[in-house]
Amino acid sequence: MLGRHQTPDQFQKQISGALDENESIQWIEQPLDSRFAAPRVITFLLTGISVTLLGVYLIFLAGGGPLPFPIEGIEYGDLRFALVVGIAYTLIGSIALLVPFWEWLTTYRVAYVVTDKRALVVEANWLKSTIKIYTPDRLKDLYLKERADGTGDVVITTRTCRTEGNSWVEEIGFANVRNPKETEKVLRRLAQSAVE
């Protein structure tokens, strides 16, 4: 956990560049990697390994490998479809194996900052950095989503996303924070400062 005012090294430049001259940091934190928790990782790894192995086996069969048990009426030439299915399974399995690693990488590239004037979400990627700014007047409708383990999200706003035939609500704010109740209090104090 970061201290109340400790800035992660990779964010020093972005945060100091975003702050006004008389602005001071009140609270700062990085999201937990709870998305990278053991049950989720195990699920992705087991799925990825089993689907990849099945894909490799289907490719092996398509290449003329022996069938594990004889099937009457099936020739090796009839198993050409196994090559296509095997390649697809291998790709899907490989993606499932990479998901936990990708989430771990993205988690450590985000910092949440609350100053005496506004809230910031800083995302430092390899090619560019993004800073989302939430002024106190945008914090009036925030709400808390707490999980059983005490971690959670403080949702600042929502956005409806639409694709062909589908729509969903995206929650935007401080996700996977260690103590969402404390985070909510800090943000509500900032929102209250706009009223005063």
> What is the spatial distance between Cα 94 and Cα 44, in angstroms, rounded to a whole number?
10
Q: pLDDT at residue 181 above 90? A: yes
Q: pLDDT exceeding 90 applies to what percent of the chain?
A: 21
Q: Which two structure tokens, joined as six digits, stand for 28? A: 């700062």
> What is the spatial distance between Cα 18 and Cα 195, in angstroms, rounded to a whole number?
23
Tens of pLDDT along 78-90?
Answer: 667 778 888 999 9
CATH class of 9-32+116-195: mainly beta
Mean pLDDT of 25-34: 80
> What is the spatial distance between Cα 70 and Cα 84, in angstroms, rounded to a whole number?
22
**165-172: which pairs have CB atoms within 8 A and are 24 or more residues apart?**
171/145, 172/132
**Model pLDDT, residue 51:** 92
Tens of pLDDT along 89-142?
Answer: 999 999 988 888 777 776 667 889 999 999 999 887 777 778 899 999 999 889
Mean pLDDT of 163-184: 88
Work out the pLDDT band at 69, boundaries 50, 70, 90.
low
> What is the spatial distance between Cα 86 and Cα 195, in angstroms, rounded to a whole number?
61
Spell out the residues 6+ positions from residue 173 whose beta carbon is closer than 8 angstroms to its own.
121, 142, 153, 154, 155, 156, 157
Mean pLDDT of 18-39: 77
Work out the pLDDT band at 3, boundaries 50, 70, 90.
very low
**Model pLDDT, residue 4:** 47
Q: Which of 22, 13, 33, 24 has the alpha carbon at shortest distance from 128?
A: 13
